[in-house]
Structure 1
């Protein structure tokens, strides 16, 4: 499962949708994102944590509330949880957990822990909010659009950018909450890349990269998609087929994106 590793960062990648779970560790703290998906994958992450944690405090950052990103929550009861205030106050927690149950029912999956909606210890309420954890300084930025409760995290001084389900190399933008918010979040991502020294980018789905040109390419591709969603229907679809290997598997989301964008754009005029 280990997809990327350097001195301070280990990233696990699930077989499902190339979903990632990052572990950042120093001598005094361990920080994880979105433990997922399948039982043996969550168990592999659990075993890694057990080997490496020692007497350090474990933190989990939930990048957003999509069920695939919180499905491993019950496997790490000792962790302190960081997430946006919107995730903490989500109005549809039961429906999200029902999706976890439906997934496990559909595929006859048994887990050795009980999944639950994360109980948030540190709720992030504003852009630029900082949390000092040992020798690390975490800077947070709200990232609505994919969902309304998304969170970007920059881990300093390591230069790690945890973007959740944005800036993926395998997925075009999935707009589940707001097209207008998504456009603004892309601008915010550009500002983050401009104002922080980012050395490693960890997307919620896809490949980790430490190539500055690749990071900027991801921003460019996502921004291009968002900006052309209401303009070049057939041209954009051709572009997506060339850019994203699994487009046929997610093209229904592309058409839903167009519907949502048209609806919001119509309200603006």
Structure 2
């Protein structure tokens, strides 16, 4: 499903977890971000890219190495791949591939491309590192917290902010790596809004937005949640922790496990 489209940007949204896949086209290139989930959804992105690319080079950007975000990697074997140094050195590559295989096997899914962990052609090692493609500039920012290998990208002069699994319109923070790093990444997001002329924010899950007020609301929502979670953990306030869990959208065994992980990491870092 296409959830957002203009002259330069098409944002596809999966039926699963409202996960986004983005295709950006400029005079110089076509950039594909996190193609996912189901085979027919990946095929729709493939067909779209094939229809628009012409003679332009294609680039494939990974925001991080969670299995839903790398699942479509080999559907674009000729693309130049981009990701963080931490993604290149991911310590659990085989585990991520096992999650993909398990998902496909449990759901009787077959794919017409091999399942592999991304091999990167362009490795982002420094915060603020840039890639110049003609008149298009990609500026990369490390975004740890959710995962250690997170990467945010600003595409200029279009003013597109590719945020990965941050600043969703509905999804509260899932802390898989570090609560402290997550808070620092949110502070970096505020800096990015000040430094760049952002025209469109695209999260990894949920709706894209062009409204600056909405971008700030999402950042405040995530920051406030982390603050209250930290306070509740330090105070050992079980009713408050349960209330925080109830704030998650789409309550399920999955969100319950994510909440427990959030609490566990907060305890490890603040107690």
What range describes the TM-score normalised by the shorter chain of this pair?
over 0.9
* CA distance in 2 between partners of 1:6 and 1:180 (Å): 36
**Any gaps of 5 or more consecutive residues in structure 2?**
none
Which residue number in structure 2 is paired with residue 229 of structure 1? 229
Aligned to 1:246: 250
Contact 1:58 1:80 in 2 (8 A): yes
Structure 2 distance, partners of 1:186, 1:227, is 12
Deviations 1:88-120 (A, max 9, x none): 111221111111111101111000111211110
Match of 2:261 among 244, 256, 262: 256
Work out whether residues 75 and 115 of structure 1, in 8 Å CA contact, stay in contact via their aligned partners in 2.
Answer: no
Residue ranges of structure 1 left out of the alignment (5+ in a row):
none
User: What is the aligned residue count?
Assistant: 265
What is the DSSP-based 3-state SS (H/G/I as helix, E as strand, rest coil) of the residue aligned with 2:22? strand
Counterparts of 1:245 and 1:14, CA distance in 2: 17
Residue 130 of structure 2 corresponds to 130
Distance in 2 between residues matched to 1:50 and 1:241, nearest whole Å: 43
Corresponding residue for 1:25? Answer: 25
- DSSP 3-state at the match of 1:21: strand
Equivalents in 1 of 2:205, 2:79: separation in Å? 23
Q: Match for residue 161 of structure 1?
A: 161
Aligned equivalents of 1:93, 1:239: Cα separation in 2: 32
Shift of 1:133: 1.7
Q: Which moved more, 1:132-141 or 1:224-233?
A: 224-233
CA contact (8 A) 1:170 1:246 kept: no
Give the Å deviation of 1:252: 2.8
1:86 Cα deviation from its structure 2 partner: 0.6
2:229–2:244 contact (8 Å) kept in structure 1: no
- How far apart in 2 are the matches of 1:57 and 1:228? 46
Which SS does the other structure have where 1:230 is aligned? helix
Q: Give 1:135 deviation, angstroms.
A: 2.0
Q: Cα gap change, 1:224/1:247 in structure 2, threshold over 3 Å: closer, same or farther?
A: farther
Structure 1 residue 238: Cα displacement: 3.9
TM-score, with structure 1 as normaliser: 0.94
Which whole-Å deviations, capped at 9, do the CAs of 1:225-261 have from their partners, x for residues lacking one? 112112245446546645x542446133112201111
CA distance in 1, matches of 2:191, 2:242: 28
CA distance, structure 1, for counterparts of residue 69 and residue 151 of structure 2: 12
- The CA distance in 2 between the partners of 1:216 and 1:239, in whole Å, is 21
How far 1:183 sits from its partner (Å)? 1.4
Distance 2:153 2:245 in 1: 27
Most deviating of 256-265 and 43-52? 256-265
**What is the Cα deviation at residue 159 of structure 1?**
0.7
